[in-house]
A and B are shown apart, each in its own frame.
Chain A
Amino acid sequence: MKLRGLRLFAVASMPALVFAACGDDTGPAAAGPPAGNSTPEGDITVFAAASLTDAFTELGTAFEAEHPDVSVQFNFGASSALREQILAGAPADVFASANTSNMDEVVDGGAASDPEGFVTNRLEIAVPAGNEAGVTGLDDFANPDLLIGLCAEDVPCGEFGREALANAGVAPSIDTDEPDVRSLLTKVEAGDLDAGIVYVTDVMAAGDAVEGVEIPADDNVVATYPIAALTDAGNAELADAFVEFVLSDDGQEILQSYGFDGP
């Protein structure tokens, strides 16, 4: 007898919960204090591409040093995952993407406007320390005896890597399409791949475990990273100030120390 009550409860409560979940799509209401003075204060949350992790962490510290009443929180992840979170109404104030297409979708979704390119990144071949396979350039990617990894076509580094290979006229013999650049780098670091195409900044961040082999400028692809304050930013003034700081000389100096090029 009581089980029927249970079923009714479950069925009755489901649409209500679904409805409640859908209601969140509009995003957070303005949470920060209204901007009254010229010195920004409060908290902001910056959603940034995983490849910016080290550089933005330092940027955040420098920004906080310049504005003592400000606290910067970061959420690093794949640009596509961040895009989904932002479009689903995650409480973000600034979005820094590793490619323009994810930013474009956020802009099309009405969550941001007027993104600006703030750095560029070039591709480089990553090989394990010692380069036992003797990789000298993109031509080696056609060698079926080598263990070759790329990023998957669906993510920016995979798209750009294939573009570079096409520029060089090389049909690669691929052993794995990695879901992101960090996981490709892990396999190169461990010596399980002979070569992979990553960003210049990744080779730099990997330190001694990985060596870089340059890709000539004619074949190379330049990735532009756009940044924008988000429409629903809780503290719009602070979000703008952070974007300005990233574009400022101080911000650019920090970014370039991690291997990024100017916009």
Chain B
Amino acid sequence: MTTTIAGSSKKATDGLATLNQQERTLLAPVVKWGRGVYLTIGALGAIVLVGIYAYFVQWRTGLSVTGMRDTVSWGLYITNFVFFIGISHVGALLSSILRLTGAQWRHPITRMAEAITFAALLMGALMPIIDLGRPERVLNLLLHGRLQSPILWDILSITTYLTGSTIFLLLPLIPDMALLRDKFIQAPLWRRWIYKFFSFGWRGTPEQHIRLERAMNAMAILILPVAIMVHTVVSWIFAMTLRPGWNSTIFGPYFVAGALASGAASVVLAMVVFRKMYHLEDFITVSHFKKMATLVLTLDLTYLYFNISEYVTLAYKMELTDKAVLTDLFSGSFAGMFWLTQILGLIVPAFLLVFSMIKPITWLKRIRLLRPIPLAAAAVVFLTASFAPSLLQPLTSLNLASLEFGLRIGAIILAGLFAFSLIPWLQARPIVLFVIAASLIVIQAWVKRFIIVVPVLEHPFLPNTTLAEALYRPTWVEWAITAGSMAGFLLIYFFISRMVPIVSVWETLHGRKAAEPVQGFGPALKQPATASSPEV
């Protein structure tokens, strides 16, 4: 925390005097709430309020204030829904898979991932309710629920996953809550009450440690199938229809892969932000980023593979019913978004991540033609010129259209060379590289959800009598609610990071000493927590 109210820091440290330096660093964001905290909460809260106002408008007038109509009857809300549920998968990935495979390096980042899961699930579960025409009848889902409907599967699996994830977030919090309960005695009353309640009488006895480890192991195993189920049935909302473009057998694993990729990338972003904001350089090291990079690369390539599987098999045959959607994606009105997701959103991040793992390509620096600044300038010049080709036409024998086309192609090539020339620079700054790659993957995830939902609805079996009927243009209400939900997600996430240490204190500092039961959770747990060497 950079801004600290004078005095408050002194008062806070008093109660925490018994802590060592490492513990103090990790607890600093929790015990010191400066002006920045209130400003951040205020700014995010304001965006949330705008979203709530937009929803109020929608509640009063109806969904007619959105861009959705009878042809495209789902839009941004369902896009956000799939996006958030996707992001939420990272909790299961890091807490469960890495725990079960015994990857010790996960300790400082598991809570970040679990908190993402919690916040994203809350926002994700809200989205379909916002999308309802009759939100006041939402209880009908319980009163008249029909198990044949994929929507019921969603409700069951998402509520199960939310419950499980909340438990999985709270369990490893118990010792840290107890630490705060015991040491942070200057905390306001409401926070002291929270710390007391959520430490569930933790005294740190060996017996309690064994029970906690056992519970966490059980959760790690239980949560995994639930997580896979959640995104599978989310995809089945689409795949259980007959619509060309959704009627696909691989949608389950396809969506799960996409979910894991976007979730892992979002954890990388969280790591960067928290590391910088809370000065966690000692705990989240470059080595953690490199391990995460391997994970993200694997998931990115897996998702790319699923994309290729889905589109190439359809495009090779070009069945009439698929053709309309596919041509719209490949070369029609969604082509820009489609190729951005594939190239900029998946292939470029893959290359970036690979560059972070190989030896620095120093020879690139020696090529004078490949200097970033001149190349960027040239690309900008070409692009600008392409908007006014008539100025250049007297110099050439080309017609206007081909000149414009040529200039744009030139701009793209120059931009590509510019990106290439940045490689040595990025290799020297791996964190910047990870931020770019992870951001591209997360943005890709949202755009991809959009072009999974909308183009398919724009091309029903029966042709539209007018094109206008089919076009979907989101309105300000939808954008405001979308922005509100993103801000709400960040707000919950930020608040969690200010209430409890976002890096697990006991696991990171003491967990290295404790034995980590990996295979089977019976006898291994009964051994005294001594042996085991930390993985570096």
Tell me if chain B binds chain A.
no
